[in-house]
C-alpha cells in the first residue's frame, strides 16, 4: 500500500472520505428480525386476496361462496348478532376444557403411580378412542336434553384424551437416575413428584393442553350442530336454512378466532411456566 493512502482509498467499496459512521443504534434497527406473525399474516392475506379475485372474476353466487370481504364485513357489521351466540359457545368450551383438565391430570398421575391401576384403566382409555365422540352427541341429547350439559360433556370427551396421554408420557419421561438421587437424599414421594416429576412433565403436558384447546372448539360447535337452541353452531344451522352464507362464514370466523385465542392463552401460560425448556429457548431464538 502506498504510504499515506487511507483504507477508503484502498477499498473502492469502503466508505467515502469524511463520511460519518453509522450509529450503532441504527445498525441494530436495520438488523432487527421481522416479527414471526408477519409471515402467516401475509400468507393469509394473499390467500384471501386470491379467493376474493377468483370469486369476483368467476361471478360466483354469494349464497355459494361469498367473497372474503363480504364475510369480514358481516362479522364486523353484525357483531350484535354473533356476540351472544359466541358467548354461549365460549362458555361451553371453557367449562368443558376445565372439566377435562380436572379429570385427565389426576387420572394420569394415578396411572403412573399405580401399575395395577394402569393395567385396569389404560387399555380401556386407548380402546375408547375407537368410538367417535361426535357419534355420542345424539345420545347425550336424548339422555340429557338440549341444554348446556351435553355440549360440555362432548367438549370434555374430545379434550380429555390428548391431555391424559401427554401427561402420562411426561410423567414417565424422567430419568431413573434423578429418582434414585432424590431417594438417596431422603426425598419422599410427594417431594419427588413436585420437585422432579411434575416439572419434567410440563412440556409434554402443555403439548396436550394446546392440542386439547383446539379440540374443545370443534366439540362445542359440532354438538351445537347436532342439536341446540343457542350458540354459533345453532346460528350456522339457521343461516344455512336461509341460504345466508356470509353469516355461516362469519360464524366460522368467530370460531376460528376463539380457537386461536384458546391456543394462544395456553401457549402464553407455557412460556411463563417453562421458560427454561429447550422448546421455549428455540422459539425465543427465532
**pTM for the model:** 0.80
Over the stretch 85-113, which tens digit does the pLDDT of each residue have?
A: 999 999 999 999 999 999 999 999 999 98
User: Which pLDDT band holds residue 142 (cuts at 50, 70, 90)?
Assistant: confident
**Mean pLDDT (whole number) for 269-282:** 73
Find out whether 46 and 61 touch, Cβ atoms under 8 Å: no
- pLDDT of 169 > 80? The answer is yes
Q: Tell me the range of 6-10, 102-106, 198-202 where mean pLDDT is highest.
A: 102-106
Contacts of 54 (CB under 8 A, 6+ apart): 60
d(CA 38, CA 214): 22
d(CA 276, CA 48): 38
- pLDDT of 4 > 50? The answer is no
- pLDDT of 255 > 90? The answer is yes
**Sign of the Cα pseudo-torsion (218, 219, 225, 229, in order):** negative
User: Which pLDDT band holds residue 260 (cuts at 50, 70, 90)?
Assistant: very high
Amino acid at each position: 500500500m502506498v504510504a499515506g493512502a487511507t483504507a477508503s482509498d484502498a477499498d473502492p467499496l469502503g466508505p467515502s472520505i469524511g463520511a460519518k459512521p453509522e450509529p450503532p443504534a441504527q445498525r441494530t434497527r436495520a438488523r432487527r428480525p421481522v416479527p414471526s406473525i408477519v409471515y402467516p399474516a401475509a400468507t393469509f392475506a394473499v390467500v384471501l386476496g386470491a379467493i376474493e379475485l377468483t370469486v369476483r372474476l368467476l361471478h360466483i353466487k354469494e349464497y355459494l361462496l361469498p367473497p372474503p370481504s363480504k364475510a369480514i364485513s358481516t362479522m364486523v357489521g353484525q357483531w350484535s348478532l354473533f356476540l351472544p351466540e359466541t358467548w354461549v359457545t365460549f362458555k361451553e368450551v371453557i367449562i368443558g376444557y376445565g372439566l377435562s383438565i380436572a379429570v385427565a391430570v389426576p387420572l394420569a398421575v394415578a396411572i403412573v403411580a399405580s401399575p395395577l391401576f394402569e393395567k385396569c384403566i389404560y387399555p380401556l382409555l386407548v380402546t375408547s378412542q375407537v368410538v367417535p365422540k361426535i357419534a355420542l352427541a345424539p345420545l347425550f341429547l336424548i339422555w340429557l336434553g338440549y341444554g348446556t350439559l351435553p355440549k360440555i360433556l362432548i367438549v370434555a370427551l374430545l379434550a380429555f384424551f390428548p391431555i391424559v396421554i401427554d401427561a402420562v408420557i411426561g410423567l414417565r419421561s424422567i430419568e431413573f437416575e434423578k429418582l434414585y438421587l432424590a431417594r438417596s437424599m431422603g426425598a419422599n414421594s410427594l417431594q419427588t413428584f413436585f420437585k422432579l416429576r411434575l416439572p419434567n412433565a410440563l412440556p409434554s403436558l402443555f403439548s396436550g393442553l394446546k392440542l386439547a384447546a383446539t379440540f374443545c372448539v370443534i366439540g362445542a360447535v359440532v354438538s351445537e350442530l347436532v342439536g341446540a337452541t343457542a350458540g354459533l353452531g345453532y346460528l350456522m344451522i339457521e343461516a344455512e336454512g336461509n341460504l345466508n352464507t356470509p353469516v355461516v362464514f362469519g360464524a366460522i370466523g368467530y370460531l376460528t378466532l376463539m380457537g386461536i385465542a384458546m391456543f394462544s392463552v395456553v401457549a402464553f401460560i407455557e412460556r411463563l411456566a417453562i421458560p427454561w425448556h429447550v422448546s421455549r429457548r428455540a422459539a425465543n431464538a427465532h
